[in-house]
Structure 1
Amino acid sequence: MVWTQDRLKDRQRVVHWDVVRSSPEYSVERVLDMSPGGRQRVYNSFNKGRVAVPDSAFTDGNFSLVINNVITTDRGVYTCNLHHHYCQIHQSIQIQLNVTKSARKERRYWDGEKTVFVVLLGSSVVLPCVNRRPLWREGLQEDQQQVAHWDFQPPGVRPDRADRLVDLYASGERRDYGPLFARRKMYVEEDAFTLGDFSLSISDLKPVDKGLYSCHLHHHYCGLSERRIFRLIVGPPLPPAPTTAPEISENEIPEPRTDESESPRVVNVILPEHRGYFMQHLGYFLATFLLLAFIVVAVIVLTRRRKKRGEAGSAGMKYLTTAQSLRPATRHL
């Protein structure tokens, strides 16, 4: 909607003041609201004639809230909200109002987040909310502040050296640069701002047309800007398609083969083993080899131990036999 053109004078601008009170339970209350060409709407009948916004708010940008005869229940955090539905812009400002019975305690200060007013009971106060941007004021030719333009950046050219192709204005003005638009090689629809379609059409593409194309949209009234960048690559032309099918004579028509049937073909595909698969098999082989080596070593060790035990036993038996044979001889002597 922002980039289309319309003749509405009322751009759906709205200002409204809200207040948040600490009691009961931080309740939120709408104080008043106003739109261009409309009267102020005060929501609490007690505040009618006591709370107001200047009637010239949408002319001079002064949306300050005036409160006369301040009472204790006016204490709270006030919020000034500005909504521009056409431009989709929302702004707000918060002000805290405290009420005192001592004139010496009246002051105004900043608490780090918002402005705080301490006012005397029964006096008048102005909670400031001023925004003098043209966006919030009347008397502007809004439909003439929308601009769209296309730029072309050939390969190897810096963005600041890009060529301007066309400028489009919502007022109907149009500026073409270079002969491309004059020859209708490139064009943008005349009703671009009505449809919101700013597409660039290019015919008879050539290799010199490749590069970066950028579409810039500027809405000076809303203070918005958008950009779209496209890279165009032009390839070689396609080969021409055959116009007529080749003629086949009756003698060249192959006879159907009914007796012979094509035998199935088997294709063997050998895929190299994955490195992980090879390492896995190598691990299994090494583990098996180590296990066998351990068993062989264990058998050898056990065999040697048994041989040593056998030799020690035979030597003991020989010693006992010799001793027994010597005992009778000793007695005989």
Structure 2
Amino acid sequence: MHPEMAFLMILTVLFLPGAWGQGGSVRPGAVLEAKNLTLPAGSRAVLPCRSPQMVWTRDALKDRQRVVHWDLVRSSPEYSVERVLDMSPGARQRVYNAFNKGRVSLPDSAFSDGNFSLVIDNVVATDKGVYTCNLHHHYCQIHQSIQIQLNVTKSARKEKRYWDGEKTVLVVLLGSSVVLPCVNRRPLWREGLQEDQQQVAHWDFQPPGVRPDRADRLVDLYASGERRDYGPLFARSKMSVEEDAFTLGDFSLYISDLNPADRGLYSCHLHHHYCGLHERRIFRLTVGPPLPSHPTTVPRIFQNNDELEPRTKEVLPHEEGPRVVNVFLPEHRGYFVHHLGYFLAAFFLLAFIIIAVIVLTKRRKKRDVEYELGRSVRGTMTNGGEIAFDCTELKACDQEPLHSDYKNNLLKERDMTKDCNKEFDGKMWK
């Protein structure tokens, strides 16, 4: 197996489930609340949906809520922080140091084109430090900042711009002009957007057994005052939402005279495109048995003609208020994809292990065959490639006969050597 193929398989095992899980987790908005509600038939249900960020103030919002300011942090001669200038759409830019007036400025069109860069003319040595551009939108509760470090040099060859891993560093020539960049072209920071056109709230209803993409739209609410009702439920006041919903930020849905047909999944969607707000709240409504109209009590029998004592009304178990149980419902859309991804990952990992074992086994067998071949070749003796001698054909000449006539061992060994040499010479000349 090639190393590249093995590396690709390992990457597939590690990253495939995560990639599929991310692809299946795309949602239209963040689910902030999920509840299960069980209410008796005939009662009135209140599905709460409130958000203070959806309150429409109906005033010059963009002139009072958006602010940009530049701050300077100096490390020498001692650590200090000072405000350089600030600016809002409804006011002129304010410079805090008299020495910087006419020398430090922002573009007048900053809140129109999103360019909040700081311009410094006639750079001096005291301008050295870390500058921070801060963008605040108090209504939308959005705060952003960017840092730039400014260094001053007396040599034109040392002018440069680089990234030190955390922030941009500018080295500029003493007495020259410099622009510290801070650009944010999001629609949130520019003019031309009306708040009443960007705020939308709507309720959806999903009956049991119906898929989420087949849910019915109940009502659409717009901050401009426009309202769209779908179906006759709102027309006959069975369902309602307060008229001043955008004034109070309360978009709760009221359902009167509950019946079994009202059970299902209700979802409240809040969109504030101007602020980038997208929220969902889900309620699973279950309708129980109706409450008895006149609860009956068991008559009491008094003895000895005692006077009837006043009884206090007992609260029956079914007369208690509706119980609300908060249950956070999981998102089921990505479950199948997650399980399939983990199954494929385990399959690829098992296949990789099996292939590796097979390859190692084949290599081991091949090495054993080569070793046996070398052994057999070394055990065979050849002379010029023509005649091969087999050691097994040599007869042992050291066998002593049963009846020996030799007087001593020296004579015996000499005769045995002669006999072996004769027999060996005879075989060679054949």
For 1:80 and 1:165, locate their aligned partners in 2 and report how far apart those are by CA, in whole Å.
Answer: 45
For 2:134 and 2:184, locate their aligned partners in 1 and report how far apart those are by CA, in whole Å.
Answer: 11
Alpha-carbon shift at residue 168 of structure 1 (Å): 0.1
User: Are 1:6 and 2:54 counterparts?
Assistant: no
Alpha-carbon shift at residue 211 of structure 1 (Å): 1.7
User: Are 1:46 and 2:46 counterparts?
Assistant: no
1:8 alignment partner AA: D
Alpha-carbon shift at residue 191 of structure 1 (Å): 1.3
Aligned partner of 1:135 in structure 2 is 188
Alpha-carbon shift at residue 203 of structure 1 (Å): 0.7
Show the 5 A alignment for 1:86-105.
86-105=139-158
Aligned partner of 1:255 in structure 2 is 304
For 1:242 and 1:75, locate their aligned partners in 2 and report how far apart those are by CA, in whole Å.
Answer: 83
Alpha-carbon shift at residue 237 of structure 1 (Å): 1.1
Show the 5 A alignment for 1:159-198.
159-198=212-251
Name stretches of at least 5 consecutive residues in structure 2 with no aligned partner.
1-51, 307-430
The percent identity for this pair of structures is 84
Select the structure of larger CA radius of gyration: 1
User: Are 1:70 and 2:123 counterparts?
Assistant: yes
User: Are 1:199 and 2:199 counterparts?
Assistant: no
User: Are 1:123 and 2:176 counterparts?
Assistant: yes
Alignment CA distance shift 1:31-1:253 (3 Å): closer
For 2:119 and 2:161, locate their aligned partners in 1 and report how far apart those are by CA, in whole Å.
Answer: 16
For 1:253 and 1:53, locate their aligned partners in 2 and report how far apart those are by CA, in whole Å.
Answer: 92
Alpha-carbon shift at residue 22 of structure 1 (Å): 1.0
1:124 alignment partner AA: S
Using the size of structure 1 for normalisation, the TM-score is 0.72
What is the Cα-based RMSD across aligned positions, in Å? 2.0
Q: 3-state SS of the aligned residue for 1:222?
A: coil
Is the contact made by 1:67 and 1:124 (CA closer than 8 Å) also made in structure 2?
yes
Is the contact made by 1:11 and 1:86 (CA closer than 8 Å) also made in structure 2?
no
| Matched positions, count | 253
Q: 3-state SS of the aligned residue for 1:229?
A: strand
Q: 3-state SS of the aligned residue for 2:287?
A: coil
Aligned partner of 1:34 in structure 2 is 87
Show the 5 A alignment for 1:247-286.
254-255=303-304
Aligned partner of 1:260 in structure 2 is none
Alpha-carbon shift at residue 238 of structure 1 (Å): 2.0
Q: Pick the aligned partner of 1:209 from 242, 256, 262.
A: 262
Alpha-carbon shift at residue 6 of structure 1 (Å): 2.1
Q: Deviations over 1:114-160 (max 9, x none)?
A: 11111111110000111111111122212221000011122233322
Name stretches of at least 5 consecutive residues in structure 1 with no aligned partner.
258-333
For 2:82 and 2:181, locate their aligned partners in 1 and report how far apart those are by CA, in whole Å.
Answer: 19
Q: 3-state SS of the aligned residue for 1:225?
A: strand
1:22 alignment partner AA: S
For 1:157 and 1:124, locate their aligned partners in 2 and report how far apart those are by CA, in whole Å.
Answer: 65
For 2:204 and 2:134, locate their aligned partners in 1 and report how far apart those are by CA, in whole Å.
Answer: 39
Q: 3-state SS of the aligned residue for 1:119?
A: strand
Is the contact made by 1:210 and 1:234 (CA closer than 8 Å) also made in structure 2?
yes
User: Structure 1 runs of 4+ off > 4 angstroms?
Assistant: 245-248
Q: Deviations over 1:63-99 (max 9, x none)?
A: 1000000111111110000011111110111111111
Is the contact made by 1:11 and 1:84 (CA closer than 8 Å) also made in structure 2?
no
Aligned partner of 1:107 in structure 2 is 160
Q: 3-state SS of the aligned residue for 1:118?
A: strand
Q: Deviations over 1:150-204 (max 9, x none)?
A: 1112223332222211110000111111221122111111111112111100011
1:77 alignment partner AA: V
User: Are 1:230 and 2:299 counterparts?
Assistant: no
Is the contact made by 1:83 and 1:91 (CA closer than 8 Å) also made in structure 2?
yes
Using the size of structure 2 for normalisation, the TM-score is 0.56
Is the contact made by 2:125 and 2:152 (CA closer than 8 Å) also made in structure 1?
yes
Q: Higher relative contact order at CA 8 Å, sep ≥6: structure 1 or structure 2? A: 2
Is the contact made by 2:64 and 2:90 (CA closer than 8 Å) also made in structure 1?
no
Q: 3-state SS of the aligned residue for 1:40?
A: strand
Aligned partner of 1:275 in structure 2 is none
Alignment CA distance shift 1:135-1:254 (3 Å): same
For 1:52 and 1:58, locate their aligned partners in 2 and report how far apart those are by CA, in whole Å.
Answer: 14
Aligned partner of 1:158 in structure 2 is 211
2:57 alignment partner AA: D
Alignment CA distance shift 1:11-1:212 (3 Å): farther
For 1:117 and 1:247, locate their aligned partners in 2 and report how far apart those are by CA, in whole Å.
Answer: 93
Q: 3-state SS of the aligned residue for 1:39?
A: strand
Moved more, 150-159 or 197-206: 150-159
Q: 3-state SS of the aligned residue for 1:63?
A: coil
